[in-house]
Structure 1
Amino acid sequence: MPKSDRHYLPDLPDADHFRNLEWIEKANAPLLAIGRDYGRGLIVPPHSHTRTQLWWARSGVVLVHTADGRWMIPPGHALLIPAGMEHSAEMVSDVRMHSIYIAAMSRAHRPLVLEITALAGSLIDELVRIENETSSERREQLITDLLLEEIPRLAERPLGLPFPQDRGLAGLCRKFLEAPSASANIDQWADNLGISRRSFTRFFRRETGISFVTWRQQACIFASLPRIADGEPITTVALDAGYENVAAFTTMFRRMLGAPPSLYLRGRDL
């Protein structure tokens, strides 16, 4: 990979951002590795790539928007974005991003939040930092090949939140994210839409692809991550989300994400 195919880029305004996208599209290398720092609150405007992107939040929390949902990338995780899919992003906190752009990648037909292993993280770090004078082409190719072998083995995490197309149901979903509650029930939502419980259950699954209960659980955890990243007490976050106690919240958090909230956003550097 030519040295010009590896950059560590500061926060860029929109014009420079799109010039960088043009560079990515014109590059000939089968895999590109880029590092960037983003400031809290920065909005990356809608765009797409002809390459599949593995967007790793080296530190910080990122919220990615697509036409079909929202996808949270907390530390230690990456979002696999299919080639050609338009997306935008919002930096929930200061973010250090390491991104891999892959010319040929068949796994992604929809965005996937993947947990980055120690091996994958080390390989990505190395590809971002490599300099021609310190690494042979053979070593670089071996690192690239091993990363491409590792990506399909990464575990998916349920940090994507599908959003319905129906305007009325989408409005209820947005309100829920503003004030999530683990005790919200199907009857309340069905009444708001003026339909029966059975009709609502079928309608919700048709619109989102998952059940209301599954969506509610994911949404509660989804909404809690930025607050935990901001250092809010877990007790406060759990009670605000409608859980009776921290233990119940922690159990659900661990079940979905594989670690308790006290450890999830701390010590994730690989």
Structure 2
Amino acid sequence: MMKSKQSLATSELAKLHVERLAAIEAASEPVYAIPSEYPAGYHVEPHSHSRAQFVYARSGVLMVSSILGRWMVPPQHALWIPAGLVHTVDMLGDVAMLSAYVSPQALADPPTAIRVVALTDLARALITEAVAPPEAKSGRRDLIMALLLEEVLRLPDRPLGLPFPSDTRLATLCRGFMESPSARLVIDDWAERLAMSRRAFTRFFRKETGISLSTWRQQAAVFTALPRLAAGEAVTAVALDLGYDSVAAFTTMFRRTMGAAPRAYFRAPEQY
């Protein structure tokens, strides 16, 4: 039976990904930078690399998952993935990304945790230049890579990580909420399902995730909303689907979490 065009494309992308991983491991330069594109819905199987990865979502939204949680990278943001961390990647929409793979020796004190960061104009320009073909006998590329590393450490964090608990009962509740998020989640309901008092559950949830349930719920709602908003869906439709009583309530939550109202947040800066 002949493969469909879609399955053939998926097979070719998987082969290309394996080739990229081999090239990353074989690279000798301190920073190895490459561009890549993936179609909506594509899933990158669990993998890791000996280098840290700094990945910039130039367009589309990508979701990175590991045993530690999930991290969303919307357009004009980037993610730092520490070396050796096994993770998967899911494309929420067509994704164009630029990645810089940083050797362990390139930074004296590299970040050891996953970080979602907002890009400055300088960082965006540097990583765009980093993936360009190198000029023959030019020291310009070395200067670009060195400055990129300096800028990466200065970028502001964004609350786009969603930690997942290790407790299987609590993890089941969290995954169920991700499948059907709601602004009306009540702490007492989850506490009762785990046969705990409200106070005991509150302490337990913070111990397992590092944040409160209300903060986790807001970030989970943002995870659901961002791909839809980035695809151009109306703020009203997204807000109502998430169970918010009004667009104003959703906008207030979004602004508190992301630093700007939805429409302002998706006003893309100048592209390079």
How far, CA to CA, are the matches of 1:214 and 1:191 in structure 2?
20
1:264 Cα offset (Å): 2.6
How far, CA to CA, are the matches of 1:259 and 1:211 in structure 2?
22
Does residue 1:159 correspond to 2:160, yes or no?
yes
Structure 1: unaligned runs, 5 residues or longer: 1-9
Contact 1:75 1:268 in 2 (8 A): no
Show structure 1 runs of 4+ deviating over 4 A: none
Does residue 1:49 correspond to 2:35, yes or no?
no
Please list, as runs of the form range in 1=range in 2, the aligned pairs for 1:85-124 lying within 5 A after superposition. 85-104=85-104, 105=107, 106-124=109-127
- Which residue is 2:6 aligned to? none
How far, CA to CA, are the matches of 2:54 and 2:113 in structure 1?
12
- Which residue is 1:125 aligned to? 128
Q: What RMSD, in angstroms, separates the aligned Cα atoms of the two structures?
A: 1.7
Identity of aligned residues (%): 52
Partner SS for 2:199: helix
How far, CA to CA, are the matches of 2:242 and 2:228 in structure 1?
11
User: Residue by residue, what CA displacement relative to the aligned partner does 1:182-230 show, whole Å, maximum 9, x if unpaired?
Assistant: 2211101111112111111111111111111111111111111122123
Q: Which moved more, 1:36-45 or 1:224-233?
A: 224-233
Q: Pick closer, same or farther for the CA change 1:142–1:37 going to 2, 3 Å.
A: same
How far, CA to CA, are the matches of 2:75 and 2:145 in structure 1?
22
Q: Which moved more, 1:16-25 or 1:74-83?
A: 16-25
- Which residue is 1:34 aligned to? 34
How far, CA to CA, are the matches of 2:93 and 2:15 in structure 1?
22
Contact 2:31 2:100 in 1 (8 A): yes
Please list, as runs of the form range in 1=range in 2, the aligned pairs for 1:1-270 lying within 5 A after superposition. 12-104=12-104, 105=107, 106-133=109-136, 137-268=138-269, 270=271
Contact 2:134 2:141 in 1 (8 A): no
User: Residue by residue, what CA displacement relative to the aligned partner does 1:22-76 show, whole Å, maximum 9, x if unpaired?
Assistant: 1111110000110001111111111111111001101000011111101101001
The one-letter amino acid of 1:127's match is A
Contact 2:240 2:247 in 1 (8 A): yes
1:268 Cα offset (Å): 4.3
How far, CA to CA, are the matches of 2:94 and 2:265 in structure 1?
17
Question: How many residues align structurally?
Answer: 259
| TM-score (norm. length: structure 2) | 0.90
- Which residue is 1:7 aligned to? none
